[in-house]
């Protein structure tokens, strides 16, 4: 079948944008390139893959898992069911962290706790190659994906399998994390609940378990000057600020809103 015929076929099954994105990805083309080769014949093996992937989309699998990658901050990250799909809000966390790093000139070492696909830590390394970045996750499967992403992106970083600080020694200038923060009983999108790893989503009864875990030992892992950057759930500002204030009375604490005007990032710094 031709590209055009396959698009028409796909549009009967899923949203036309998704059908086009799927086919474009399988043909290693972008959306515009796809439109310039509508009459080309598609190889049978690609057609088979396309049909299979359309079925996955029809079965309500997220597009990013079906395609197998996602664009984050201009970089392509491989993703599968073992890692959270990086979100726009997390791009904003990175964006704001980079702005803080412009002010914190001596910052050298960074640790990304609960790295998942590596989107945060690897993007920081790409943007500021002089940083020494450590990526940590409890899940070996997630670390495997993060490692593949580090290789593809040519971003040399260190990996440690660890439940937050458990296997981590030493101090860091920058501690960054988008930990699991959904609280028990919080309604979440069905697509997220059914497909993304629970390990990366749920943060205990009030969603704050991982902030508590990180902050409890934070004194042992920061230097005199430091930047701490957390993504948070939109109702967690006060609680996370309070935890940080108690542990680090000298820190300046700032919560920033995302583009949808929700409190989504807390920064604590001393430099």
Question: What is the binding site for ligand GLN (CB under 6 A)?
Answer: 84, 87, 178-182, 188, 192, 201
d(CA 188, CA 183): 10
Whether residue 208 contacts residue 242, with contact meaning beta carbons closer than 8 Å, is answered with no
Q: At closest approach, how far in Å is the CB of 90 from ligand GLN?
A: 8
> Which residue lies nearer to ligand GLN by CB, 84 or 218?
84
- In the complex, the smallest distance separating the C-beta of residue 89 from ligand GLN, rounded to whole angstroms, is 6
Q: How far is Cα 46 from Cα 76, in angstroms, rounded to an integer?
A: 21
Cα separation of 139 and 151, whole Å?
A: 18
Nearest residue to ligand GLN, scored by beta-carbon proximity? 181
CA atoms within 13 A on the CB side of 61: 17
- Residues 267, 97: Cα–Cα separation, whole Å: 8
Write down the least CB distance from residue 11 to ligand GLN, Å: 28
Alpha helix (H) residue ranges in 12-78: 16-26, 31-35, 44-58, 63-67
Q: Considering beta carbons, is residue 104 or 230 the nearer one to ligand GLN?
A: 230
Q: How far is the CB of 206 from ligand GLN (least distance, A)?
A: 13
Residue number with CB closer to ligand GLN (66 or 182): 182
Tell me the closest approach of the beta carbon of residue 255 to ligand GLN, in angstroms: 16
Tokens of 242: 């309070």
User: By C-beta, is 34 or 175 nearer to ligand GLN?
Assistant: 175
CB nearer to ligand GLN: pick between 134 and 177: 177
């Amino acid at each position: 079948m031709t590209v055009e015929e396959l698009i028409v076929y796909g549009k009967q099954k899923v949203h036309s944008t998704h059908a086009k994105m799927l086919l474009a990805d399988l043909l290693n083309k972008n959306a515009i390139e796809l439109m310039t080769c509508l009459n080309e014949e598609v190889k049978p093996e690609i057609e088979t893959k396309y049909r299979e992937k359309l079925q996955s989309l029809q079965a309500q699998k997220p597009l990013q898992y079906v395609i197998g990658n996602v664009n984050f901050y201009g970089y392509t990250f491989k993703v599968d069911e073992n890692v959270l799909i990086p979100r726009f809000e997390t791009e904003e966390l990175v964006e704001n962290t980079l702005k803080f790093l412009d002010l914190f000139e001596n910052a050298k070492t960074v640790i990304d706790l609960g790295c998942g696909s590596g989107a945060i830590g690897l993007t920081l390394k790409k943007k500021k190659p002089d940083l020494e970045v450590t990526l940590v996750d409890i899940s070996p499967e997630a670390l495997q994906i993060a490692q593949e992403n580090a290789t593809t992106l040519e971003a040399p970083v260190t990996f440690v399998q660890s439940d937050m600080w458990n296997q981590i020694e030493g101090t860091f200038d920058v501690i960054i994390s988008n930990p699991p923060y959904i609280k028990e009983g919080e309604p979440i999108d069905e697509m997220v609940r059914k497909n993304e790893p629970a390990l990366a989503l749920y943060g205990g009864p009030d969603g704050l378990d991982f902030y508590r875990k990180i902050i409890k030992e934070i004194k042992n892992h920061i230097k005199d000057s430091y930047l701490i950057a957390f993504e948070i759930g939109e109702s967690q500002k006060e609680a996370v600020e309070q935890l940080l204030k108690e542990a680090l009375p000298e820190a300046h604490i700032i919560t920033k809103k995302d583009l949808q005007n929700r409190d989504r990032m807390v920064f604590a710094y001393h430099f």
